[in-house]
Amino acid sequence: MDSLDPKFQTLLVENCLDLLAGLRDKTRLTAAIAVLAEDAAHGIVLASLPGMADHGYVPRVGFRFHLHCTAPGKALLARLAPSARLRIVEKLELKRFTKQTLCDPRALLEHLETYSQHSFIPDVGEYVEGVNCVASCICDGDEHPLAAVWVTSLAVELPEEQLAQHGQYVRATAKEMAVRLLNVSSS
């Protein structure tokens, strides 16, 4: 499966939107799916379902986001082979958005390495002050990242101390999506 292939992207959204809705319903937070852009310098939101909480942050479909300071971007980078991760990070413009944004390539690579073996990765106000996210990768059978799934909201609805709990829900959904994609592509 090639995550850059528009047919794959359509297959992903059409076959996993109900799982994304289930994640949104369970967490009451905005849930979204994204892939790495062809330039490997950005991610692209493929689907986004607004949360049901009083406050929210909803990335629009088609939005191109930075990789170094967002949960889905970091999830995609962390799951890449170390050599591919290094090549991409070396080319990124590590722009500072908040005081939490990692702008040093070495620090970012260390952060990504730490999370490369974890099931999810957080973003605590790294892109937008007061907006937290947690993401996990949808991987193929060889554990290569195909897409990222995540939940996001204002910190008042998704405080830092709840990221691990929500990360488990996100990871479970990513695994379900991976299994479904494997079944659909093999039939």
123 phi/psi in degrees, rounded to 5: -135, 110
Give the bridge partners for 135, in sequence order.
121, 150
pLDDT tens column, 64-111: 999 999 999 999 999 999 999 999 999 999 999 999 999 999 999 999
Upper half-sphere CA count for residue 8 (Cβ side, 13 Å) = 18
- 128-144 burial code (b ≥16 CB/10 A, e <16): beebbbbbbbbbbeeee
pLDDT tens by residue, 122-181 = 999 999 999 999 999 999 888 899 999 999 999 999 999 999 999 999 999 999 999 999
pTM of the model: 0.93
Contact between residue 72 and residue 65 where contact means Cβ atoms under 8 Å apart: yes
Contact between 36 and 76 (Cβ < 8 Å): yes
